[in-house]
């Protein structure tokens, strides 16, 4: 165990990882720390159900290509906690190092003086301290859960607030309807601060519109104020300031055209005067691990059937599964291969809703356990649910065994293997493969 792992383990013991949505504890700690949230660089705040991280990755790549210094806060991490905090640095940002992080976490712990606080709150406070102490032109701040009562929602006036597509997820904490979840997400809207909105279902959009109206926040909605589309393999973006004809995003999938368009809209609404070359470079450089990521090197490659493809995605709700399945269908149309799924999921997720997206698309499914997660679904439950919707399924004790078993299937071509269902599982895969995010 590294010193940082020991510090995080102690904090997790003292301040549980429970989800208790409130801002009171956060405000108390920030006051004792001297209000670092008031000394941050200009903030772009990002909430939503799907696409938050990819949208943020596009913005970071575009801003850095345009010469801007960028801080970024994301969650959860995949392999190392440091992934959550990226500090601005020449030539692109860098993950916070262990020593800085330990020092800041211990400072927050001393100042908190043993009062009740959650793990996410104290680590978010440490992130804000680091962002306030290091110069940058902009901070890209991703919401952890919800928005209204999320620990990041302490920003008085962001440059722009972003709401990516909202769907049913975390219903036990945010509410059981799209409208209730949208109301929580729209809680990041601040008085007078512009809001960029990705495509939304009608119920979510009406909630966002009402909240923006109450807050007198200018709305910039996809399909109304700005548009993005795929034309002849390129991304075409248009708003009242003109049209951009850009290369396709490096990130795989039709949904990434929408995420990239949202990023462009937000940067233009925020007032960044980036050259077209910065948008082009950002689209081609953006990296967001475990989102339809193809593994082409690493330790796991040797365990898979010869000539096969291995893809990794951490999407875990029905809408995320729909985007993954659509992407795989597009790839299948270009390069046909039998699809084999390796799935691990949490018990808190809509397993049936996720799996239905792959009915008729996947040839075989291996259900695996997730080692480092709260409330993982037993592989037996996953396999049973898969068979119930018509998928051929079996269990495997781990990722390596599932990859080896895929090689024993009677298939006419080497398979296209997708490891999916959970960001926890994706993190395990990247660690096992020896290719953690950098």
According to the model, what pLDDT value does residue 92 have? 85
Task: Classify 293-433 by CATH class.
Answer: alpha beta
According to the model, what pLDDT value does residue 17 have? 67
According to the model, what pLDDT value does residue 275 have? 98
- Distance (Å, whole) CA 159 – CA 233: 32
Task: Name 356's Cβ contacts closer than 8 Å, sequence gap at least 6.
Answer: 318, 321, 389
Q: What is the pLDDT of residues 12-31, one digit of tens each?
A: 887 766 666 779 999 999 99
Q: Which of 412, 401, 429 is nearest to 312 (CA)?
A: 429
According to the model, what pLDDT value does residue 251 have? 97
According to the model, what pLDDT value does residue 169 have? 65
Phi, psi of 305 (to 5 degrees): -55, 145
Q: Where are the alpha helices (DSSP H) in 162-240?
A: 171-174, 178-185, 202-215
- By CB atoms closer than 10 A (0-12, 13-18, 19+), residue 11 is buried
Strand 94-95 to strand 138-142: parallel, antiparallel, or no bridges (unpaired)?
A: unpaired
DSSP 8-state secondary structure symbol assigned to residue 167: -
According to the model, what pLDDT value does residue 73 have? 98
What is the overall mean pLDDT for the chain?
A: 95
Phi, psi of 431 (to 5 degrees): -65, -45
- By CB atoms closer than 10 A (0-12, 13-18, 19+), residue 213 is exposed
Q: Which of 260, 186, 250 is nearest to 227 (CA)?
A: 260
- Distance (Å, whole) CA 149 – CA 223: 29
Do domains 3-285 and 293-433 share one topology? The answer is: no
**Binning pLDDT at 50, 70 and 90, where does residue 49 land?**
very high
* Tokens found for residue 335: 């390069």
Out of 47-61, 167-181, 275-289, pick the least confident: 167-181
Sign of CA dihedral 403, 404, 405, 410: positive
- Distance (Å, whole) CA 276 – CA 62: 10
According to the model, what pLDDT value does residue 282 have? 98
Cis peptide bond N-terminal to 188, omega within 30: no
- Distance (Å, whole) CA 298 – CA 269: 41
DSSP code per residue over 366-400: EE---SS-SSBPPHHHHHHHHHHTT--EEE-SSHH
According to the model, what pLDDT value does residue 361 have? 95
Q: Which of 366, 360, 351, 350 is nearest to 407 (CA)?
A: 366
Domain ranges of the chain: 3-285, 293-433
According to the model, what pLDDT value does residue 276 have? 98
Give the mean model confidence (pLDDT) for residues 367-384: 93
Q: What is the pLDDT of residues 313-354, one digit of tens each?
A: 999 899 999 999 999 999 999 999 999 999 999 998 999 999
- Distance (Å, whole) CA 394 – CA 413: 20
According to the model, what pLDDT value does residue 356 have? 96
Q: What is the pLDDT of residues 170-225, one digit of tens each?
A: 556 675 799 999 999 999 999 999 999 999 998 999 999 999 999 999 999 999 99
Q: Which of 118, 79, 6, 5 is nearest to 431 (CA)?
A: 79
For the stretch 228-233, contacts whose Cβ atoms lie closer than 8 Å and that sit 24 or more positions apart, written own/partner, are 228/257, 228/258, 228/260, 228/261, 228/262, 228/264, 228/265, 229/257, 230/254, 230/257
3-285 to CATH, choices 3.40.630.10, 1.20.1090.10, 3.40.50.261, 3.40.1190.10 = 3.40.1190.10
Predicted TM-score of the model (pTM) = 0.96
Strand 393-395 to strand 226-231: parallel, antiparallel, or no bridges (unpaired)?
A: unpaired
Q: Where are the alpha helices (DSSP H) in 201-307?
A: 202-215, 255-270, 276-285
Question: How many CB atoms sit inside 10 A of residue 300's CB?
Answer: 21
User: C-alpha angle with apex 159: 198 to 25, nearest 5 degrees?
Assistant: 95
What per-residue string of b and e applies to 151-183 under the rule 16 or more CB within 10 Å gives b?
bbbbbeebbbbbbbbbbbbbeeebbeebeebbb
Residues 327, 309 contacting (CB under 8 angstroms) = no
Q: With pLDDT > 90 as the criterion, what percentage of the chain qualifies?
A: 90
According to the model, what pLDDT value does residue 242 have? 95
**Binning pLDDT at 50, 70 and 90, where does residue 91 land?**
confident
- Distance (Å, whole) CA 285 – CA 257: 14
Q: What is the pLDDT of residues 122-171, one digit of tens each?
A: 999 999 999 999 999 999 999 998 899 999 999 999 999 999 999 876 55
Residue 359: pLDDT over 70: yes
Integer angstrom CA distances of residue 226 from 99, 163, 354: 43, 14, 30
């Amino acid at each position: 165990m590294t010193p940082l792992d020991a510090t995080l383990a102690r904090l997790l013991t003292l301040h549980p990882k429970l989800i208790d949505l409130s801002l009171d504890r956060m405000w108390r700690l920030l006051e004792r720390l001297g209000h670092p949230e008031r000394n941050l660089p200009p903030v772009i705040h990002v909430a939503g159900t799907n696409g938050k991280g990819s949208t943020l990755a596009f913005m970071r790549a575009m801003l850095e290509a345009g010469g801007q210094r960028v801080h970024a806060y994301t969650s959860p991490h995949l392999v190392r906690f440091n992934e959550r905090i990226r500090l601005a640095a020449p030539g692109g940002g860098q993950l916070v190092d262990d020593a800085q992080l330990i020092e800041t976490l211990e400072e927050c712990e001393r100042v908190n003086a043993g009062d009740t606080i959650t793990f996410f709150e104290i680590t978010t406070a440490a992130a804000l301290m680091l962002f306030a102490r290091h110069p940058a032109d902009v901070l890209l701040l991703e919401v952890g859960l919800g928005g209204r009562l999320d620990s990041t929602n302490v920003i008085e006036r962001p440059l722009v607030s972003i709401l990516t597509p909202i769907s049913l997820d975390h219903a036990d904490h945010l509410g059981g309807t799209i409208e209730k979840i949208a109301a929580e997400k729209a809680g990041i809207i601040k008085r007078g601060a512009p809001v960029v909105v990705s495509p939304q279902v009608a119920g979510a959009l009406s909630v966002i519109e009402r909240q923006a109206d109450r807050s007198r926040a200018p709305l910039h909605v996809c399909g109304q104020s700005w548009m993005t589309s795929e034309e002849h393999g390129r991304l075409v973006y248009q708003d009242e300031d003109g049209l951009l004809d850009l290369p396709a995003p490096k990130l795989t999938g039709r949904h990434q055209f929408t995420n990239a368009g949202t990023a462009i809209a937000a940067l233009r609404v925020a007032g960044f005067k980036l050259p077209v070359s910065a948008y082009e470079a950002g689209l081609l450089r953006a990296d967001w691990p475990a989102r339809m990521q193809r593994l082409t090197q690493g330790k796991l490659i040797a365990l898979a059937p010869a000539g096969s493809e291995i893809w990794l995605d951490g999407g875990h709700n029905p809408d995320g599964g729909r985007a993954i399945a659509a992407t795989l269908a597009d790839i299948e149309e270009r390069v046909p291969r039998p699809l084999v799924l390796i799935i691990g999921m949490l018990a808190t997720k809509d397993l049936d809703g996720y799996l239905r997206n792959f009915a008729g698309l996947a040839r075989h499914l291996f259900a695996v356990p997730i080692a480092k997660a709260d409330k993982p679904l037993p592989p037996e439950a996953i396999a049973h649910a898969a068979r119930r919707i018509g998928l051929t399924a079996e269990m495997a004790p781990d990722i390596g065994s599932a990859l080896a078993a895929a090689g024993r299937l009677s298939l006419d071509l080497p398979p296209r293997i997708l490891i999916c269902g959970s960001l926890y599982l994706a993190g395990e895969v990247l660690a096992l493969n020896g290719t953690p995010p950098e």
